[in-house]
Amino acid sequence: MAFVKICSTSDVAEGAVKRFQMNGASIAVANLGAQGFRAVSAICSHAHYFLDEGEVDVDEQTVECPKHGSTFDLNDGRATTLPAIQPVKAYVTKTDGDDVLIEVDGR
C-alpha cells in the first residue's frame, strides 16, 4: 500500500465534501476541520448518486446522499441510515503539509 496525493487542503472548504477522480474511481474527500480529512467512494451504494452533492455532518462525521437521505460514516464507509445498507469504500487519509493523501493499493 502506498499514499498518493488526492488534492490540496485548500481544495475542500471546511465542512464540505468534493469529488476527485483517481485511477478511474470517484472519491469524495471531506474536510472535517480540526478532525482532519476523510475520503470515501463518491458513489452511494444504494442510489448511485454522487455523495459530494450531499451534506457533511462534521460532528457525526457522516455524509448524506442527496437522493434518499442515506448517510455514510466517513471513517469506515458503513451505511448509518436507511435506505442504504451496503457500505461505501473508505480510504485511509493523512495530510503532508498542504497535500491530502489517501492510501491506495500499489498493485
Per-residue 3-state assignment (H helix, E strand, C coil) for 28-53: EEEECHHHCEEEEECECCCCCCEHHH
Residue 105: pLDDT band (50, 70, 90) is confident
Rg of the Cα trace of the chain? 13
Q: By the 8 A CB rule, do 15 and 36 touch? A: no
Of the candidates 80, 82, 84, 93, the one whose C-alpha atom is nearest the C-alpha of residue 39 is 93
Q: What percent of the chain has pLDDT over 70?
A: 98
Average pLDDT over residues 10-23: 97
Once rounded to an integer, what is the mean pLDDT over residues 38-64? 97
- Per-residue cell: 92: 485511509
**DSSP character at residue 77:** -
34 versus 107: the higher-pLDDT residue is 34
Query: Is the confidence at residue 51, as pLDDT, over 80?
Result: yes
Nine cell digits for residue 94: 493523512
Q: Which residues contact 64 (CB under 8 A, 6 or more apart)?
A: 51, 54, 55, 56, 57, 70, 71
Other CB atoms within a 10 A radius of the CB of residue 43 amount to 20
Q: What is the pLDDT of residue 107?
A: 46
The mean predicted confidence, pLDDT, of the chain is: 96
Confidence of residue 106 (pLDDT cuts 50, 70, 90): low
pTM above 0.85, yes or no: yes
